[in-house]
Amino acid sequence: MLGLLVLISINFILTSCSPLYYSPNAHNVPLLSQKGEASLNLSLSGGDDVTNAVEIQGAYAVAKNIALLGNFYTARGNEPDYGSGKGSLLEVGAGYFKPFSPKFIFEAYAGGGLGGVTNFYNPDKLNYSRLRFTKFFIQPAFGFESRYFDITLSLRTARLNYHSFNFTETAREEDLTNIQNIKNQPTYYLLEPALTLRGGFSNLKIQIQLVKSKNLTYKEFVQEYTNLNLGLYFRIDTKENLRTNLKTIFNWL
């Protein structure tokens, strides 16, 4: 099964890359329904320009209707005749979930995190920029969950604020202009809807998700607009025997 995911993800890795200053990460939509449940999602993602991205997401229901979550995102890209780039984002959050029936769940999470992006504007990496930012988000979602199939619609509203700028003055004029624009306008608001599909078994499913990102502040902002991710979603009941949960996961891998 893991080999199948690697083969499907080759299209992500082979996509070309150009300098970008933001890329949307996947939505963490765990669809937890009771205290003690936890979820883990491991995925590969790509977009129109971003390549070779890896995402790890987790959530845990600490109370009847309250859960905590965490997200990690890292991406790299390379264009031989131009340069390369890399970026990462770490987020934590908390939220509310409410099952309306055995199959329908509403959830809303809010959180924030720290991220950064580095671009090298030529192959020898002499011209570069390093930007750091904070990100805060609100993400409501409504999902249908069954034993073999899940579908979720979610909408994330995010605020980006760039606060650290380190770059060489010898970069191309176009790249310097893009960086200067961010310095002049360091705060951006984003609207990011997503559709998530899962199929498999009650505790182990394949997940595919499409995220779109729209910059509400400045439409010319140089960013990735798409995140298409594919991975494995694990549902873990911490009330069950830990050995049983781990055995199930490793058997699937």
Reported as a pLDDT band with limits 50, 70 and 90, residue 52 is confident
Is the per-residue pLDDT at 16 higher than 50?
Answer: no
Is the per-residue pLDDT at 115 higher than 70?
Answer: yes
Whose CA is closest to 168, among 118, 129, 117? 129
Is the per-residue pLDDT at 196 higher than 80?
Answer: yes
Task: Identify the residue whose tokens are 């933001």.
Answer: 22
Question: Which amino acid, 14?
Answer: L
Domains identified in the chain and CATH numbers: 2-252 (2.40.160.20)
pLDDT at 246: 56
Question: Tens digit of pLDDT for each residue in 60-111?
Answer: 999 999 999 999 999 988 777 777 889 999 999 999 999 998 899 999 999 9
Where is pLDDT greater, at 26 or 52?
26
Is the per-residue pLDDT at 191 higher than 80?
Answer: yes
Q: Three-class SS string for the chain?
A: CHHHHHHHCHHHHCCCCCCCCCCCCCCCCCCCCCCCEEEEEEEEEECCCCCCEEEEEEEEECCCCEEEEEEEEEEEEEECCCEEEEEEEEEEEEEEEEECCCCEEEEEEEEEEEEEEEEECCCCCCCEEEEEEEEEEEEEEEEEECCCEEEEEEEEEEEEEEEEEEECCCCCHHHHHHHHHHHHCCEEEEEEEEEEEEEECCCEEEEEEEEECEECCCCCCCCCCEEEEEEEEEEEECCCCHHHHHHHHHHHC
**Whole-prediction pTM:** 0.87
Question: Tens digit of pLDDT for each residue in 135-148?
Answer: 999 999 999 999 99
pLDDT at 247: 58
pLDDT at 104: 97
Task: Identify the residue whose tokens are 């992006």.
Answer: 117
Where is pLDDT greater, at 102 or 227?
227
Whose CA is closest to 129, among 170, 74, 88, 161? 170
Least confident of 46-60, 74-88, 110-124: 74-88
Is the per-residue pLDDT at 121 higher than 70?
Answer: yes
pLDDT at 193: 98
pLDDT at 15: 42
Is the per-residue pLDDT at 12 higher than 60?
Answer: no
Handedness of CA 213, 112, 134, 26 (dihedral sign): negative
Calculate the CA 69 to chain-centre distance: 13
